[in-house]
Structure 1
Amino acid sequence: MLDRYTSRWVQPPLKVLAYHARREEISADQLTVLGFVFGLMAMVAITLGHFELALVLLLINRFLDGLDGAVARQTQPSDAGGYLDICLDFLIYSGVIWAFALAEPANATAAATLIFAFVGTGSSFLAFAAVAARRSLVQPQAVHKSLYYLGGLTEGTETILFFVLLCLFPGAFVPLAYGFAVLCAMTTATRIVGGYLTLRQP
């Protein structure tokens, strides 16, 4: 929901940094993999209870996730790169929640509920994108994305803010997780209905 607004001030500096990355011959795929490594490190930090460190690592992960796309757009975006990016993103999203369950067993039920909700948002996102690509649908507000997708209450910006809250207030994981799971469920419902109605059109 907030991505369309945050991209207005995030994209310009990313374009500048992407230009310098290209001059150093750093590829988008290299940044994608590096970001994934930082995400894995954040998961380990969460599991060990080092939440401040995890927050820094997660922010680096999200920064690199934005930078890889900026580099790709200045070179030649590829289906392979977009595929790699989205796969690793979803692994980190669910992995962070799993790490909180490992850090504190009392978080397990809330974590399982949220991961279940993530499956809903992810599957509705990817299933629609696959069919939309086959039908050559175009979404003007998502021209900077590799995939055509349906928006919702819980997109990238909201998820980053949620992860920040989890790292700052790990003791509040359970209510935060259940609250975000509700928002994810609402996103899933609107995506399923919106996607179905869109694809019914000839």
Structure 2
Amino acid sequence: MFTGFPVAALDFYEDLEADNSKQFWTTHKALYDDAVRAPMVALLDELEPEFGPGKVFRPYRDVRFAKDKSPYKTHQGGFVSVCPSGGWYVQVDARGLFLAGGFYSATSAQLAAYRTAVDTDLRGGQLEAIVADLGAAGFEIGGDTLKTAPRGFTADHPRIDLLRHKSLTAGRLFASPDWIDSTRTLSEVRAGWESMRPLVEWVTDVMGAA
């Protein structure tokens, strides 16, 4: 049963940001297992009947091609995939709890399918309304974007802002909420993901088979 993330989870990541070393990790591994990983697994298990099976990301960074050789991630993420690179996300770190949904990357074929859909009045209008509703509800619309119009589209396209996206997400940060160590966290994640369902379903319908 998920009962919340102990406040010690936030403290753990605050300390890890200050000392991202193998020695710190080895000394505090039991705290990570009990206060971070186990609650994340329990949270995703509780949400599985409504959203699908989730994945808990590994805590280790891939530093092979990175300038920053810090060995450990300073957050713990969980992801429910509903199509390639698309789905729901939850994260705990020193700041608190973060929720997101949408698609975080795309192949050339997926991006072409996305832009074709956005170009049409029906599908593009649907996404425009979804994004507007999420923004009005307090979600931050993010994702990687082009600085100019994508090839084949003009800068005065009525949905040029959406066409410029190479990834598209909606997210919300709960900064150190006083309920993070209670079952209310489950309710907040469930409600947040449910609010993002129209975006995730749009992404799945348009890009899932591309």
Does the pair score TM above 0.5? no
Report the TM-score, using the length of structure 1 for normalisation. Answer: 0.34
Larger Rg over CA atoms? 2
Report the TM-score, using the length of structure 2 for normalisation. Answer: 0.33
- Comparing both structures, which one devotes a greater share of its residues to strand? 2
